[in-house]
Structure formats: structure tokens, C-alpha cells
């Protein structure tokens, strides 16, 4: 079932997002939001209740498609992002993913030693993870060329933190203990995850994803030396192995490391097309450092969406001015939208980006 999608990329009615990632001219700055399909929308909560639980929602292609499209019905977003979870790969590796109310994801069989690493295999994207590819195919069909579809994965390091810690963590003591006391074990796990992510993202592209993004949520907990050793080199390996052209168009890849502002040059040097920025760096500085090499995505503080419409517009204007004239900027939040943000405020944000960015593209 790894057929190509029915709708050629050339037929996109709005390719602003893809053009900006390729640093091609656009009429206005494209915008989408991390976690744009999610708990801040009442219609999402209703669909999740219908599914029964979070993973059942992810594994139902029709319902995953429905929640992917919900924010696009409300807002004039320039891209859709696959509704899924970064922990699909570890789940398919047999670690026993489950969710505790109020505590986030947990694994009943975490990775504790080299023997555990040797037991896990690289999942078949059209086997154990076929439900993700079915969702990609369904979403791509239902989008009908309105906007591009973004596929994604967690980075090997970020996936490994959950697999070794057994869930979310604040201090990351278990995985850092493995990194420093048993580095060969962690490198074996990261190499296996890099292979799995490469296969997974390429399968998403074959199923219809027109751009892909790697979320390195926890790369920022590492020192500069350890970031290169345990996170960045594995993301670079994935970038090298990705399908970069499909359906007659380049498939751009974006790398996002939360709290990774000090390493922008190294991230840009991986061969990615865009670097995602969180809100802890000024976008003008980021553009000065790497903006001529790659596109930039970001970077409003998600908490700004609690502010008044006037304050949201002011922040949008400040970030647009910081980036300055020309293409190569995809506007986004610096991380995922918070679950209690009023949807109307997200609408103010999207509209302001489009309206206020036009003068920067004449």
C-alpha cells in the first residue's frame, strides 16, 4: 500500500509554505502552529471523546484526518500537519506505551541496558506503523491540494529520552547516566532510531507528505559537545537518508531543537532546508547567523496567545520586523500552542501574520 498520493504537488492551490522553505518569493509570510490540531479546540475534544483515547484517535485514519483538518476550517493556515505522536516509533518497537491521566506518556518496558537495545527492531512503516501512513494518505486526499501536508517524527535523542526514562522527565538522569557510563549502549539505540526515523519519514513522503519536520524537543538539555555527539549527528544522518524530491517537487526538511539557539550554525550545516527557532532567541540574530543558508521557522512565545489581540499583533509585528524583508521565513510559535489558549486569539495571530507581512514581500 505504498502507492504515491493522487494529487500532484504541482496542483497545490497554496504553496506559500513550501516556497518560503525553499527561499523562493512569496506574497506574504506563511504561518502554521505547532500542535495546531489539539486540545485548545472544542471540536478536537469532541472527536477525541468519540475515539475513546489518544492512541485510538491516532490509529483511526478518518478521525486523525478530521482533527488535522479542524484548525484549517477555523484559520487560514498555510499548512496542515499530520495528527500523530512522536512516540509512535517506540510504541511500534514494543515498549508498551500507555498514558496516565495528568502525567503524560509512559512505557511499561523501558530500555535499561544493551540487551534491551538488541531486542528491539526497526518497525516497518507499512507494517506496525501502517496506521500512520493510512492517515497521511487520507489527509492528503481530503486536503485536495488546498495547502501542503507536513509529516514529522521525533529526533532519535528525544525518542531515546522517553524510552530510557520510561516517560517524561525533568532531570534526564537515566539517559544521561547511559550516555556517560555506557555510551556504546546509547549509540546503538540512537543508530537504530535514526534508521527507524529515516524509514518512517520516507514512508510518510511516499504516502503524500510534502514536507517533513524533526522535533528534537529535548536536545537543549545537553551540553554543546554532547548535543553534537548524541543528537545532532543522528539528525544529520536522517537528513542524508531522506527522499528530497517527490511528485516533481523538492520535499523540504525542517529541524527544530528546543533551546537550541546556541547551535544554529551546526544545525543549518546538516543539509536541512529550514531551522526551527524557539522563543529564546531573537529572529534577527538568527537570520544574521544562518538566514542566508536556510529558511527559519518561528518564533513567537506560545504564551503570547494569552495576551490581548493588540498585544498579539504587536508581537507579530516585532518578529516580522526582526526577520526583515524577503522570503525564507515561516511564521510559527516557538513551541506548541497551549491547551487553554482561546481559539479566537489563535485566529488573531494567523490573520495578523498575513496582513502585517505583505509589505516585507513587495
162 is in an annotated binding site: yes
- Reading the block at residue 148, the C-alpha cell is 501542503
Residues with pLDDT less than 70, the chain? 1-10
> Does residue 16 carry a catalytic annotation?
no
> Does residue 162 carry a catalytic annotation?
yes
Residue 65: the pLDDT is: 98
130 is in an annotated binding site: no
The strand order across the sheet containing 149-154 reads: 80-81, 149-154, 211-216, 253-257, 274-276, 295-300, 329-333
Residue 108: the pLDDT is: 95
Q: CB neighbours (10 Å) of residue 242?
A: 17
> Does residue 225 carry a catalytic annotation?
no
> Does residue 131 carry a catalytic annotation?
no
Residue 332: the pLDDT is: 98
Would you say 158 and 215 are in contact if contact means Cβ atoms under 8 Å apart?
A: yes
Structural domains in the chain, sorted by start:
38-295 (3.20.20.210)
Can you tell me which residue has the cell 504541482?
10
User: Nearest CA to 360 among 330, 321, 333, 331?
Assistant: 321
Residue 103: the pLDDT is: 77
Spot the catalytic one: 15, 85, 91, 278.
85
Residue 292: the pLDDT is: 84
335 is in an annotated binding site: yes
36 is in an annotated binding site: yes
> Does residue 323 carry a catalytic annotation?
no
Residue 117: the pLDDT is: 98
Spot the catalytic one: 40, 162, 234, 323.
162
Spot the catalytic one: 35, 137, 140, 287.
35
Amino acid at each position: 500500500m505504498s502507492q504515491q498520493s493522487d494529487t500532484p504537488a504541482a496542483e497545490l492551490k497554496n504553496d506559500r509554505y513550501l516556497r518560503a522553505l525553499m527561499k523562493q518569493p512569496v506574497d506574504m509570510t506563511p504561518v502554521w502552529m505547532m500542535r495546531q490540531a489539539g486540545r485548545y479546540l472544542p471540536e478536537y475534544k469532541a472527536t477525541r471523546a468519540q475515539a475513546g483515547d489518544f492512541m485510538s484517535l491516532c490509529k483511526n485514519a478518518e478521525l486523525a484526518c478530521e482533527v488535522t483538518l479542524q484548525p484549517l476550517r477555523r484559520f487560514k493556515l498555510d499548512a496542515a500537519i499530520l495528527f500523530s505522536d512522536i512516540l509512535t516509533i517506540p510504541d511500534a518497537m514494543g515498549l508498551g506505551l500507555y498514558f496516565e491521566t495528568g502525567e503524560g506518556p509512559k512505557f511499561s518496558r523501558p530500555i535499561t541496558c544493551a540487551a534491551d537495545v538488541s531486542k528491539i527492531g526497526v518497525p516497518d512503516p507499512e507494517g506496525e506503523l501502517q496506521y500512520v501512513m493510512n492517515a497521511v494518505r487520507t489527509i492528503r486526499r481530503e486536503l485536495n491540494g488546498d495547502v501542503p501536508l507536513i509529516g514529522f517524527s521525533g529526533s532519535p535523542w528525544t525518542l531515546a529520552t522517553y524510552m530510557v526514562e520510561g516517560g517524561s522527565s525533568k532531570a534526564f538522569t537515566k539517559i544521561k547516566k547511559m550516555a556517560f557510563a555506557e555510551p556504546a549502549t546509547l549509540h546503538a539505540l540512537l543508530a537504530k532510531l535514526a534508521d527507524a526515523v529515516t524509514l518512517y519519514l520516507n514512508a510518510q513522503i511516499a504516502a503524500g507528505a510534502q514536507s517533513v519536520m524533526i522535533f528534537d524537543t529535548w536536545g537543549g538539555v545537553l551540553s554543546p559537545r554532547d548535543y553534537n555527539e548524541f543528537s545532532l549527528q543522528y539528525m544529520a544522518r536522517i537528513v542524508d537518508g531522506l527522499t528530497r524530491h517527490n511528485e516533481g517537487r523538492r520535499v523540504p526538511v525542517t529541524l527544530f531543537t528546543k533551546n537550541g539557539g546556541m547551535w544554529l550554525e551546526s544545525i543549518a550545516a546538516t543539509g536541512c532546508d529550514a531551522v526551527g527557532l524557539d522563543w529564546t532567541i531573537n529572529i534577527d540574530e538568527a537570520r544574521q547567523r544562518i538566514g542566508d543558508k536556510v529558511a527559519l521557522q518561528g518564533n513567537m512565545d506560545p504564551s503570547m496567545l494569552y495576551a490581548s489581540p493588540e498585544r498579539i499583533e504587536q508581537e507579530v509585528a516585532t518578529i516580522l520586523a526582526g526577520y526583515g524583508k524577503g522570503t525564507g521565513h515561516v511564521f510559527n510559535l516557538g513551541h506548541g500552542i497551549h491547551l487553554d489558549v482561546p481559539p479566537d486569539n489563535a485566529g488573531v495571530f494567523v490573520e495578523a501574520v498575513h496582513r502585517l507581512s505583505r509589505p516585507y514581500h513587495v
